[in-house]
Amino acid sequence: MSMWKETVTYGMCVNRIDGVKKDYCKHFLAGGEEGTPEALFCGGCGCHVCFHKKNVTKEFDITNAIVKYGQCAKNHAAHIGKSTDGCREFMAADKEGTPEALFCAACGCHRNFHEQIY
C-alpha cells in the first residue's frame, strides 16, 4: 500500500487545427457520468481528454503511515552552545492516548523534539 496519494486533473485544451488553437477551453469538464464513454470528452469544448494538459499531484497520505520517533534533537544548552542529551529513540512515558504519552520516558522531552521516521 502506497503512502502517496495521487490526484489527476486535466487543464487547458491544447487541440490545434492548422496550427491555430481550436478554442480557449481552460479546463476539462467531463461530458458524462464517470465510467461512460461520454466522460472522456470535454463538455466545454468537445475534445477528447487526451487534448487537455494532464496535471498529477502527489500528496503524502499520513493516514497510512506508521510514524516512529528517533533521536532527540532538543538543544539543552541553547544559551551557551549546542548540547543534546544523547537520547536515541523516543519511548512514550505512558500508554497511547494519554497526555503523558507525548513525552519521552528516557529524556523527558516532548516527542516534537524527536526526529520523525516514516
pLDDT of residue 20: 80
Q: How confident is the model at residue 115 (pLDDT cuts 50, 70, 90)?
A: confident
pTM above 0.85? Answer: no
Residue 60: strand, helix, or coil: strand
* pLDDT greater than 80 at residue 118: no
Contact between residue 60 and residue 4 where contact means Cβ atoms under 8 Å apart: yes
Domains of the chain: which residue ranges?
Answer: 4-60, 66-118
Please work out, in degrees rounded to the nearest 5, the angle formed at the alpha carbon of residue 90 by the alpha carbons of 89 and 93.
140
Q: How confident is the model at residue 97 (pLDDT cuts 50, 70, 90)?
A: confident
Which residues in 1-118 belong to E strands, given as ranges?
4-13, 16-17, 20-21, 52-60, 68-72, 114-117
Q: State how beta strands 16-17 and 20-21 pair.
A: antiparallel
13 forms beta bridges with: 52
pLDDT of residue 73: 83
pLDDT tens, 31-87? 899 899 999 999 888 899 999 999 999 987 777 667 888 888 887 777 777 777 778
pLDDT of residue 57: 93
Say which range, 19-23, 55-59, 108-112, has the weakest mean pLDDT: 19-23
pLDDT of residue 66: 76
pLDDT of residue 40: 93
